[in-house]
Structure formats: structure tokens, C-alpha cells
Amino acid sequence: MAVVFEKSRSLTDEILTYCPGCTHGIIHRLVAEAIDDLGAQSSTIGVAPVGCAVFAYNFFAVDMMQAAHGRAPAVATGIKRALPDRIVFTYQGDGDLASIGMAEIMHAAARGEKITTIFVNNAIYGMTGGQMAPTTLVGQVTTTSPYGRKEELCGKPIRMSEIIAQMDGTAYAARVSVHDPRHVMEAKKAIRRAFEAQRGGEGFAMVEVLSTCPTNWGMTPIEALKWVATDMIPYYPLGVYKDSSKGAA
């Protein structure tokens, strides 16, 4: 018998600290598989965020740094410029990247830093207890929007992939989802392309992955996957927003 599927070499044996059914684990695995595919385990440096994924340095079997809240792209910039032959990635949530870290991500894209950013969007602040994030959908109930997010008070959620795709320094920007096996396979392709864009020196690459937060959404893991399909994807359309190898989008 041949092994069809086994855990990636670029993941450690640590048990993930995420809640049951949280798709962070799937996204970790896809990043690790992309590193395996590039044969880059010994030459990759990751930057962990603040948020649920703060312990990512325990889970990836590559060199890791941990940055202050939202500052992973700035730390990754320093690493990449000092060690330009390494593959450098940041792994950030929506509270980290789209709120406190908005300036860092925008300027990293504007400078065309040759780093890869994995942006995990679950429309809520997970670790701190389910507060409203910049990506929380209109009407979504969180601990700081107990009657649902109101557009007249808070505006509409920020679509980061579309914004990043507008920047000249961006080589690749895509939004993917991991709510069923087909979308997991597509997400894997996008993440691998984002790493290849960095290796080819094309510029900044970001993959936004729609993720779940069953605990703070108040749903079962299965209900949460369905909510991604029925509520999140209509507002956050999936697709490749920019790919420098295929001309401007």
C-alpha cells in the first residue's frame, strides 16, 4: 500500500492549541505542504502574529519569529532584506492584519517586499473573546456588536485582497476558502503560487483564506463551514485578484 496522505514534514508533532473544528489547522497544513513542495524547509523563516496563531512557532518545523501585533510584515521585511536567499512568510489573522497592522501590510505591498503573507480571515477577533473585527459582516453578532454590526455606525467590512491587488508592488493576491475538500485543494494551489512568486522575485504575495471560528461564532464546526459558504463568500468573493505572471487583473 502506498501512503496517499500523511502529515507534512514542515509541521511539528505539537498538538495545535486551536479549538475543535477551527480551520487554522488546515491552513497551517497547506502552508507546510507548500514549503515541502518547494523543498524549502531548511531555508524558510516564518513570522507568527498576535492572535490565535501566536503559537505558530511551535507548530511549523521551520525557523520562526514572533512579531508585535500587526507588525509581522515589518519584521519579515527586515529578515528578507538581511537574508534575501530565504523564503520568508507571515501568518496573520484579520484583527492583526486588517486592523492594527493595516499600515504595515499596505507599505510592505507598496514597497513590493518579496515576502508571502497568509491572511486568515474569520470575520472576528478569536483569541480575545469574539469582538467585532474590521472584517466582521454587517449584521453579524459579536461581543462588541451584540445587536449585529450596524453599517451606519461601523461601515462595511474591509476587503483586503481587493485593496492589496491595487498596489503596484503586489505580484499575487488571491482569496480562497477551506470550507470543503475542493476548496482546500484550490487553496493549496494559491498558497503554493504565492510562495513561488516570492522565490521568483516577482514581488509581494498575499493569500487571504476564509476561515471559521466556531467558538466565537456560537456554531458547531459543521455549521461554521456552512456559514462560510452561505454568508462569507457572497461578501468576500473567491478568486485571484492579481497575478503578475498572467498580466494585470
Partner 1 sequence: MAKLTILSDRCKGCGLCVEVCPKKVLGFDKKSLNAKGYRPASAIAPENCVGCAFCARMCPDCVITVER
- What residues line the site for partner 1 (CB under 8 A)? 1-8, 11, 15-16, 18-26, 29, 180-181, 184-185, 214, 220-222, 225
CB of 84 to partner 1, least distance (A): 32
Element (H, E) at 24: helix 24-38
Give the β-pairing of 170-177 and 204-210. parallel
CB of 53 to partner 1, least distance (A): 12
Q: How far apart are CA 43 and CA 48, in angstroms?
A: 16
CB of 249 to partner 1, least distance (A): 28
- One-letter amino acid at 130 equals G
Q: How far apart are CA 164 and CA 187, in angstroms?
A: 18
Beta bridge partners of 176: 209
Q: How far apart are CA 209 and CA 188, in angstroms?
A: 10
Does residue 240 contact residue 249 with C-beta atoms inside 8 Å?
yes
Name which of 5 and 147 has its Cβ closer to partner 1.
5
Name which of 11 and 176 has its Cβ closer to partner 1.
11
Name which of 9 and 81 has its Cβ closer to partner 1.
9
Name which of 24 and 149 has its Cβ closer to partner 1.
24
DSSP per-residue codes, 181-212: HHHHHHHHHHHHHHHHHHHTT--EEEEEEE--
CB of 220 to partner 1, least distance (A): 8
CB of 13 to partner 1, least distance (A): 9
Cell of 195: 510562495
Q: How far apart are CA 92 and CA 122, in angstroms?
A: 11
Name which of 4 and 153 has its Cβ closer to partner 1.
4
CB of 15 to partner 1, least distance (A): 6
Name which of 15 and 153 has its Cβ closer to partner 1.
15
